Each structure stands twice: as C-alpha cells, then as structure tokens.
Amino acid sequence: MKTIKNVLILVDESNAIKDVGLQLAAQLAPIHVAIVDAADFAATDMLPADAYFLGCKEPHPARFSEVERVLKGINLAGRPCGLFTLSSKSAIEYLRSITRDAELAVFPEPLLYEALKTMDRAPQVKAWVQSVLGRS
C-alpha cells in the first residue's frame, strides 16, 4: 500500500461542510492536508494528493463544475476517496457519479455527519477517516 503523505479535502461553499472538512483534517495529522473550497479549485490541486475527501451539502453545487470537469478527464485509479455530507443521500450519489470516471477507490460507506451522535462524533469521524485510508 502506498504511503499517504498528501490529502485533498474539497468542499462546497457551505460553512457546515467546511467545518466537517476541518474535523476530517484534524484526524489526519501528521499528513499534509489541503482544504480547498470548490470555488478556488484548480486542476493542479488533484495530482499531488494521495487521497481525497469530497463533501457537499446538496447535489450539484454550482461551484463544483470545475471539479466535475477535471474528474471526467483524469485517471486517479486506486487512490482512496471518502465522500461526506451533512445528511443528503442525494449529495452522496452526486459525488459518487462525478468520481466514477477518475476511477478513484471510493470508500463504500459515506460520512453522513448529522447522523452521528453528537457526543461521539470525534471518535466516529476518526474511525471513518482511518477506514477510508485503509488503516482500520
């Protein structure tokens, strides 16, 4: 298994999703993590990453158009990818659909953040992140 040194977390404009992205990043230390708002995303953000986490509040956020375009034309075969949202299963299906062409190794269980028990969120987020990266 390849050592994971760089992780890219892509988020939509939702402050709640950005907060979840920060919580994911906190579980990834000492790995280098870049949290990128989809509005600021550039194709060059993808290749340096060894793993990806993509999150949006609702399906088809307007700011994900460049992310969609890049993922249709890049091969990231086998690189781990976790999908997250607050509670929208349709957002997860959207994220699954845009990652398909890039052949990412999308973890089968998405993180539905609002479904986690409030008092146990940190350990549950940590366990999920570790599972996505194949470290559980």
User: Is 1 a domain residue?
Assistant: no
User: Is 95 a domain residue?
Assistant: yes
pTM of the model: 0.95
The total domain count for the chain is 1
Domain that holds residue 116: 6-132
* 111-127 confidence digits (pLDDT tens): 999 999 888 899 999 99
Output the domain CATH number for residue 109: 3.40.50.360
For residue 92, what are its two tokens?
A: 């997860």
Map residue 93 onto helix, strand or coil: helix
User: Is 54 a domain residue?
Assistant: yes
Find the radius of gyration of the CA atoms of the chain.
13
Sign of CA dihedral 125, 10, 74, 30: negative
How far from 107 is each of 38, 53, 80, 131, CA to CA, in Å? 21, 10, 7, 8
Cβ 103 vs Cβ 77: under 8 Å: yes
User: Is 66 a domain residue?
Assistant: yes
User: Is 106 a domain residue?
Assistant: yes
* 47-101 confidence digits (pLDDT tens): 999 999 999 999 999 999 999 999 999 999 999 999 999 999 999 999 999 999 9
User: Is 12 a domain residue?
Assistant: yes
User: Is 103 a domain residue?
Assistant: yes
